[in-house]
Amino acid sequence: MTRASVLQEIEQYFDQDQFFSDLSRRVSIPTESQVPERADDLHRYLEDEIAAELDDMGFVYAIENNPVAGGGPVLIAHREEDPAYTTVLTYGHGDVVRGYDDQWRRDLSPWVLTQDGDRWFGRGSADNKGQHTIILLRSGTCWPAVDIWGSTSRC
């Protein structure tokens, strides 16, 4: 792949609403860390949304219990080509603050990504879930365009 073809693929990802679709799926998972009943959702978000894509890109990962009582699970992943390469560290969090469903506008829900003009509404869309979607796009689109990534990645 050439630089131009990678850029074209990224543009298509946004222009064909795939970014909105991926982010919408992630926003729909109510990863409220302050609500103990959401523990399964926190794990599902890491397993189904993050780890699945990392696995497709050749990462080795583990989802561990948080050593802090009441804390959500922790995903640790790495992909190493050569120990001599520079290490790229990526950090993020999969939890969001409470949805406060009743405090949203009548036509909005924290768990449904909604476009209103040039704004998108949905819990986590501008923070962690948007960040994850962009990082995974970069990793899944740009790095496979070359035979080697030229870096060690840790998440």
Range of the domain at 136: 3-154
What pLDDT, on the 0 to 100 scale, is given for residue 127?
Answer: 85
**How many structural domains does the chain have?**
1
Pairing label, strands 151-154, 86-89: parallel
What pLDDT, on the 0 to 100 scale, is given for residue 150?
Answer: 59
Q: Which amino acid is at 36?
A: P
CB 94 within 8 A of CB 66: no
CA 21, 27, 28, 29 torsion-angle sign: positive
Instruction: Give φ, ψ of 54 to 5 degrees.
Output: -60, -40
Distance CA(146)–CA(6), nearest Å, equals 10
CATH of the domain at 126: 3.40.630.10
Q: Whole-angstrom distance between the N-terminal and C-terminal Cα of the chain? A: 26
Q: Tell me which residue of 136, 44, 125 sits closest to 90, measured CA to CA.
A: 136
Instruction: Please give the structure tokens belonging to residue 22.
Output: 């991926």
Q: Going residue by residue through the chain, which has 155 residues, state the pLDDT in tens, using 9 for 90 and above.
A: 677 877 888 899 899 999 999 999 999 999 999 999 999 999 999 999 999 989 988 889 999 999 998 889 999 999 888 888 888 888 888 899 999 999 999 999 999 999 999 999 999 998 899 998 988 886 665 555 555 555 667 66
